[in-house]
């Protein structure tokens, strides 16, 4: 510490930092969550310095032992954090020097806080991404199994929130699964760019010490060291990319939430959410509010805001590191926390959904949802599609006027619009016939839903296997 400023960097300063400025510029209140990763990076750095002869083996051993003891203090909650020491890095380094003496001051040889923090945040994010991937896989697995169970459950499909055609509940759930599958791909792709090591870039230009960055990268499980020292310390693309992934994921969860909220209402009455995922009203005793999906829907805007904040943070920064980058952590940490919380809530809730099959079927029966099936029937009888479209439109108008669905009309009533209609028309006007007719890949036929669920199950298993292999390789 400088005698004048009580700071590790204070040698050229003639007075201490203003007390308010010290608090204003400190980050230890929020970056201490990276302590384990800071220590992990420091142990690898010390190991490398000893390997290239900058530290002796005894110095390395003292540093490593001291850092492990500090980690125990932090995990036990006995470590004393100091705002005066600014950040997680200086708090740990000061404690190390306190424990092992002057050798502790040698740890920072060949590195800067610029490359140190960039390394810490990547190590931290890599672990958090693995946790997010695990929760996302759990949610997808629950969706797939629920879809498989509901492959035969008929419900109305909507466009413009108007009844369009009958589909199966399982088919609808697998549409959600497709959204999440794309999110899973984006997340694992993002992880590849997180897994690049900045350490060794030092402040911005590299170091004059004979460091071995490939060794350090190997010790920390990074795929490779960053190629350019200027970019290494100033790049935050990986954080922005994660926030973009999170925004898309929350957008998808929000769309699901909107449907869950609608479906639990008395007006739809399609599903039941167990009581443990709902709350009541302080004044209306009959209320059962779908708070979990509502809150997830609300948190979406919060994550969007963090993405815009991170983009704005970086948009005008010249190379290389700037103090602005301290502002990347709080939005990024909150994004990670929010995503993990939302995924956990959904992964717990989705498998517990109970479908109300009779309500769904009755809703699908209303609204002339088999009108397109009638048009297709007429086309197969040789009627041009545009003429068939008009015939069905007239049939629907008649049904509205007489309060009858197409399937409720007699053959004579239907034939007044086209004499090609025969008794076999009722095979296509039933809800079961309608969904069964869409018997192709991507269609809503129950057999196709089951096949799609199995394909999704197999694809998810492959993702999980790949992720486990990557994690095991990192741990080794």
- 160 carries an active-site annotation: yes
- Asked if 435 and 167 count as a contact pair (C-beta separation under 8 A), the reply is yes
**Can you read off the two tokens belonging to residue 195?**
């897994």
Which of 37, 112, 160, 407 is the catalytic position? 160
- What's the CA gap between 417 and 390, in Å, rounded? 9
Compute the distance between CA of residue 365 and CA of residue 367 in angstroms, rounded to an integer: 7
Q: Any residues with CB less than 8 A from the CB of 40 and at least 6 apart, and which? A: 123, 220
Residues 6+ apart with CB under 8 A from 453: 144, 145, 147, 148, 151, 170, 174
What span, in angstroms and rounded, lies between the C-alpha atoms of 150 and 18?
A: 65
Q: How far apart are CA 190 and CA 265, in angstroms?
A: 38
Distance CA 249, CA 422 (A): 49
> Distance (Å, rounded) from C-alpha 122 to C-alpha 238?
8
Catalytic residue (one of 8, 108, 281, 389): 281
Separation of alpha carbons 216 and 232, rounded Å: 15
Distances (CA, A) of 96 to 69, 108, 295: 9, 11, 43
CB 73 within 8 A of CB 94: no
Q: Is 37 a catalytic residue?
A: no
Q: Which residues are catalytic?
A: 160, 281
């Amino acid at each position: 510490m400088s005698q004048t400023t009580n700071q590790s960097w204070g040698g050229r300063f003639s007075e201490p930092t203003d007390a308010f400025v010290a608090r204003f510029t400190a980050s230890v209140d929020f970056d201490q969550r990276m302590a384990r990763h800071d220590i992990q990076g420091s142990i690898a750095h010390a190991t490398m310095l000893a390997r290239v002869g900058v530290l002796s083996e005894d110095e390395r051993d003292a540093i490593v032992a001291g850092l492990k003891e500090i980690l125990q203090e932090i995990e036990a909650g006995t470590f004393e954090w100091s705002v005066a020491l600014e950040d997680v890095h200086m708090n740990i380094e000061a404690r190390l020097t306190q424990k092992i003496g002057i050798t502790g001051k040698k740890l920072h040889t060949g590195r800067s806080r610029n490359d140190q923090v960039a390394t810490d945040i990547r190590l931290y994010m890599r672990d958090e991404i693995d946790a997010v991937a695990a929760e996302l896989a759990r949610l997808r697995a629950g969706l797939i199994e629920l879809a498989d169970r509901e492959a035969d459950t008929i419900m109305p499909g909507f466009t413009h929130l108007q009844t369009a055609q009958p589909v199966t509940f399982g088919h609808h759930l697998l549409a959600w699964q497709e959204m999440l599958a794309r999110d899973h791909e984006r997340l694992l792709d993002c992880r590849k760019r997180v897994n690049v090591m900045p350490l060794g870039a030092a402040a911005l230009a590299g170091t004059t010490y004979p460091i071995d960055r490939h060794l350090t990268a190997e010790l920390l499980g990074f795929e490779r060291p960053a190629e350019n020292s200027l970019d290494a310390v100033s790049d935050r693309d990986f954080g922005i990319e994660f926030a973009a992934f999170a925004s898309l994921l929350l957008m998808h969860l929000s769309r699901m939430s909107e449907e869950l909220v609608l479906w639990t209402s008395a007006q739809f009455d399609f599903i039941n959410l167990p009581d443990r995922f709902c709350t009541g009203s302080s004044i209306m005793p009959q209320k059962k509010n779908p708070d979990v999906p509502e809150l997830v829907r609300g948190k979406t805007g919060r994550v969007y805001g963090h993405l815009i904040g991170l983009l704005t943070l970086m948009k005008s920064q010249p190379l290389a590191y700037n103090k602005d980058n301290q502002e990347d952590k709080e939005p990024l940490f909150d994004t990670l926390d929010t995503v993990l919380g939302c995924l956990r809530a959904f992964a717990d809730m989705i498998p517990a959904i109970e479908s109300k099959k009779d309500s769904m079927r009755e809703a699908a029966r209303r609204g002339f949802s088999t009108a397109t099936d009638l048009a297709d029937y007429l086309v197969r009888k040789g009627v041009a599609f545009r003429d068939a479209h008009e015939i069905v439109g007239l049939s629907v108008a008649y049904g509205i006027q007489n309060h009858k669905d197409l399937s409720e009309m007699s053959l004579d009533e239907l034939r007044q619009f086209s004499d090609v209609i025969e008794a076999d028309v009722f095979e296509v006007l039933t809800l079961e016939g309608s969904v069964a007719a869409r018997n192709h890949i991507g269609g809503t036929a129950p057999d196709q839903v089951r096949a799609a669920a199995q394909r999704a199950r197999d694809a998810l298993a492959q993702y999980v296997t790949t992720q486990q292999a990557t994690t095991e390789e990192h741990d080794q």
